[in-house]
Amino acid sequence: MLEHPPIANAQEKSESLKPDFLAEVQSANADYPYWDKVKYIRTESGLNGKQLWHALKYLRQLNRTSLHFGKYRFSFMMTDEIFELLHYFDMNIGGSLTGEHLIPSENKNAYLVSSIMEEAIASSQMEGAATTRKVAKDMLRRSEKPKDKGQQMILNSYQTICQIKRSAENNFSVRQLLDIHRSMTENTLDEENDAGRIRQHDNILIMDGITGDVAHTPPHHEELPDLLADLETFFNKDGKTFIHPIIKGIIIHFMLAYFHPFVDGNGRTARSLFYWYMLKKGYWLVEYMSISRTIYKTKRNYEKAYLYTEYDDNDLTYFILYNLRTMKKAFEELKIYLKRKSEENSSIVLIANIKGINTRQAQILKIIHEKPNTCLSVKEVENRFSVSNFTARTDLEGLVGLGYLSELQINKVKRNYIKSDKFDSLMKNKL
């Protein structure tokens, strides 16, 4: 179990305030370490870990922003790293113009659909969905019926994120929160009536996934209406003290998980509220960043960020820093992904020069060229490229007419499309 930090007595507090320590205390505070790291640090002036911790605590109290939700008090400190990361994001993922050069206009819809799928898959995998990314993506692209609870979780998350995207300009309300949770958890809960319903009991504990110990005891269920009302106000209105929108979105994420208003599905719902708030505040490039996938890779650190906050007097700085660092990783991964896609698309340009085909059809031909056994449906093309059923059907039938694809009759109504016998000869010298 994570160790709680020590509490200083009067003498230890006095010793930790010596001005000679200030420079090295500030240096130690640069990455905002928790007690589990601080206790092993030894300074040049001879401070042991415990003394350094008390000095850090004093330094951190000098410039804090306090928040209250119900009877619970939280606070955070703006560090140099936080200021630097916020500037980085404001320059790259916010506003109406910044970041537009990153997403090729002709592929925006396809990139967006893919990123929403990745976000839905990773967010659900964090909550126990065992389905692989490939199987999950195939299910979503083909609009197949979920085969198990894990696939249902992913489908729910995908549909909910799409729903939030369509209504991102709206203000938050508890009623909408219930709708989001209902959409997120439909057909996945032991008691179906719990979907979209605030929990009515306190028979719930948050366990440490590794040790099995109790990590968090949520507020009493009778406190939830007032806590959620405070969250609604925090989401929709600016207070007297300015809080940067990204910081505010991260705090909203934390609070929903901390309150734990539902029997299950709190994590997925909390992350969806962050997504909603970022879009509402103009950080549109977040749509293309799979932040949950990056969190999933460091899930233990994500869990620790919650625990550090709660164990250290509800100091939100730990959770804020973890999420800002994760966002930067997600953005860097997006840039790498887009660069790779740009290189891949260089071959699509050659295909697109084939007389009578458009860019989408060129991409379909590239898919078939790289994976000859691919079997495409109209629905899959519709979902993959975010186009209408008519457009998807027209694209596929056009390639059949040109001889690149063949129709495969599935039943009296449904047909799929596969590589034709003429494909290789037609594509010769095209790539």
pLDDT in tens, 198-221: 999 998 878 776 567 777 889 999
Give residue 98's pLDDT.
46
Structure tokens at 307: 């625990």
The Cα-based distances of 385 to 100, 141, 167, 194, 277 in angstroms read 19, 9, 21, 35, 26
Q: Grade residue 312 by pLDDT with cuts at 50, 70 and 90.
A: very high
pTM: 0.83
Q: What phi-psi label fits residue 226: left (phi over 0), alpha (psi between -120 and 50 degrees) or beta?
A: alpha
Mean pLDDT of the chain: 88
pLDDT over 70 at 346, yes or no: no
Query: Residue 38: CB partners within 8 Å, gap ≥ 6?
Result: 28, 49, 52, 53, 56
State the DSSP code for 315: B
Phi, psi angles (nearest 5°) of residue 173: -145, 155
Dihedral (C-alpha) 98, 104, 110, 111: value to the nearest 10 degrees? -50
Task: Tell me phi and psi for residue 420, to 5 degrees.
Answer: -85, 165
The mean pLDDT of 401-416, rounded to a whole number, is 88
Q: What value does the mean pLDDT take over residues 155-170?
A: 92
88-115 average pLDDT score: 70
Q: 52 or 223: which carries more pLDDT confidence?
A: 223
Checking if the pLDDT of 415 tops 60, the result is yes
More reliable by pLDDT, 10 or 408: 408
Number of helical H runs and strand E runs in the chain:
19, 6
Kindly provide the residue ranges of all beta strands, DSSP E only, lying in 60-132, ordered along the sequence. 65-69, 72-76
